[in-house]
Structure 1
């Protein structure tokens, strides 16, 4: 092992664009042994950490009855550079355990005159869902001053550079969040392109960022907003879309919302032969289970490098099981898209919950969308 690798090993799990930052973290950990640098740093500032990325919630702003914007000040070592549309991982301690999820950034990157990112606060907007333990906590139980763990911004749901001449945003519910960052970024540039935006929500009172969306629509002639209130107008269909945006087939499109909407869009764009112009983001893993004959799901997962074990049933992913026993594992989208969570299956078999595919010993798996089939060992 090289001296550089030895030095940064204590912080090698922390995602960063600058390897020098983790060398400093690793050096601090080596010098403070047997204590951790955090044992000293937390005496001075809660966001100083040599072994993890941290942030502090500095403001909690209700948006609707079930959604809340959290403003987070990132701590030392967090690289705040991101592209509108990306997401950030957030970990919160609930009942003694760290619970992790990814949330789209709704803020806009702040840059200095030298085009370098400043350590400005970030914001995410969370909507509570019945089965969402963390989302419910963040919308009703978290308070300013709470320290959270962070993962670096990631994701390829973003606007290209250069921008297209015409764009279409199709969103529904909390699917507005990544697009809101895009809209705010375009507004800061004076809305330099032709934008059509169709947003679906059950009622007008439930529209997240409703007032701001209307203000942007009134301010910029190049932006056209349509709110599809499904409680009275029904769901968006292809005929309605053509009425609202006659040239939708010609536009580069970004869509985010529930699976039913995204499935419909894929069908419409594919039938029109323009599926390459459609970019989608989804928030939830579609769990379909195992293929016939694959055997029972669930088992004991041993994380080889971490030397910990976790039990998982057939509905729990390897990532979720690891986090349940206190491990901080790599992840990004948590939906099997970005491959940030990829790891080697050293022993046993695992099942992809999206399609039932069975992975064998020696193959690489995505821990965010696979569950063990019997006992297994993961190289993490």
Structure 2
């Protein structure tokens, strides 16, 4: 280790004022001591508005567990934007994300990403993962909520001939359903997988206030470990259903729903980002996270929904308003969540 450090110091003299890593990055764009990166190796269309993006990560990527998610960064008009996406590839494989064109960043990824592009990565995380031991499973998904479950199915079903999995997946139409052909092929090839599809435009949603409907799609649901991922209404309905059945611990939910932000009649204010030496004028309804990104500030973020707390930033002075509750925060040094707070008058942040 001492020899390696000595070599690095010697090379640094020759490359100064740049670092050896700066020159290495020119040769290999995945090499960076500052930020984990990945190169796009494939882009596949999924349904009518979605795409699966395959990524070869640089050194430092920790292989994901089936069902986990990761933050992905992309530069749009010179500003790096971060979003969190479930990983759809099998466990231990290079990461893939399946993105639906909703919102600025997701739409950019679907419409503009091409092979050879460089994306920024953060380590995988999340507790929505397969159980450690074999047991019958019930997966309930809707829309893009099937993404982490595909990682689970691709990991579990081909490896275990005794796998016993029921998947109930809803999409608005057959054309919008993600992975439909693959799911049908998996069901044909692996007898332990039973897939139930429901197209809500013609069939309506599965009614979780009616136990008979759930019994019809999975008669032994009470004895299965259940996983649910999808819109907030689905999560709320299934949590209530399992709780009423006296089985709240038999359900695992991936609650990745945006915070409910309420409009504000305050005028906002000027936000100073001290360390970044930037300022921006904000209204009283736009989250500070978005204001900072538009100003070119590298803002820490994760879920962007008020859940993960990755965006916590010290409040040096001023007042901010929680857009979910209306609560005002004004304590000097308090850590605020920039994704769900807005300025109330002048605000000074450490970032």
With the shorter chain as reference, the TM-score category is 0.7 to 0.9
**Aligned-residue offset at 1:233:** 0.7
Query: Are residues 1:198 and 2:168 paired?
Result: yes
| 3-state secondary structure, aligned to 1:42 | helix
Query: Are residues 1:364 and 2:348 paired?
Result: no
Distance in 2 (alpha carbons) for counterparts of 1:200 and 1:276: 23
Q: Are the structure 2 counterparts of residues 267 and 360 from structure 1 closer, same or farther at C-alpha, using a change threshold of 3 Å?
A: farther
Q: Are the structure 2 counterparts of residues 313 and 246 from structure 1 closer, same or farther at C-alpha, using a change threshold of 3 Å?
A: farther
Q: How many residues align?
A: 341
CA contact (8 A) 1:310 1:325 kept: yes
| 3-state secondary structure, aligned to 1:139 | helix
Q: CA offsets per residue over residues 138-172 of structure 1, 9 Å max, x none? A: 11222111111112212222223245x22221111
| 3-state secondary structure, aligned to 1:152 | coil
Superposition RMSD on alpha carbons, in Å? 2.8
Residue from 23, 34, 37 that aligns with 2:17: 34
**Aligned-residue offset at 1:231:** 1.4
Corresponding position of 2:325: 355
| 3-state secondary structure, aligned to 2:157 | helix
Q: CA offsets per residue over residues 109-139 of structure 1, 9 Å max, x none? A: 33xxxxxxxxx5321111112xx11211211
Range that drifts further, 193-202 or 38-47: 38-47
Higher CA-based Rg:
2
**Aligned-residue offset at 1:337:** 2.2
Distance in 1 (alpha carbons) for counterparts of 2:285 and 2:94: 36
Residue from 282, 302, 326 that aligns with 2:272: 302
1:1-380 residue pairs with structure 2 within 5 A? 34-37=17-20, 39-76=22-59, 78-110=60-92, 121-129=94-102, 132-162=103-133, 165-190=135-160, 192-238=162-208, 239=210, 240-289=213-262, 296=266, 298-361=268-331, 362-380=333-351
CA contact (8 A) 1:80 1:109 kept: no
Distance in 2 (alpha carbons) for counterparts of 1:359 and 1:275: 35
| 3-state secondary structure, aligned to 2:116 | coil
Q: Are the structure 2 counterparts of residues 252 and 375 from structure 1 closer, same or farther at C-alpha, using a change threshold of 3 Å?
A: farther
**Aligned-residue offset at 1:191:** 5.4
Distance in 2 (alpha carbons) for counterparts of 1:28 and 1:371: 48
Q: Are the structure 2 counterparts of residues 336 and 29 from structure 1 closer, same or farther at C-alpha, using a change threshold of 3 Å?
A: farther
Structure 1's unaligned 5+ residue stretches are 1-22, 111-119
* TM superposition outliers: structure 1 runs of 4+ over 4 Å: 26-33
**Aligned-residue offset at 1:62:** 0.8
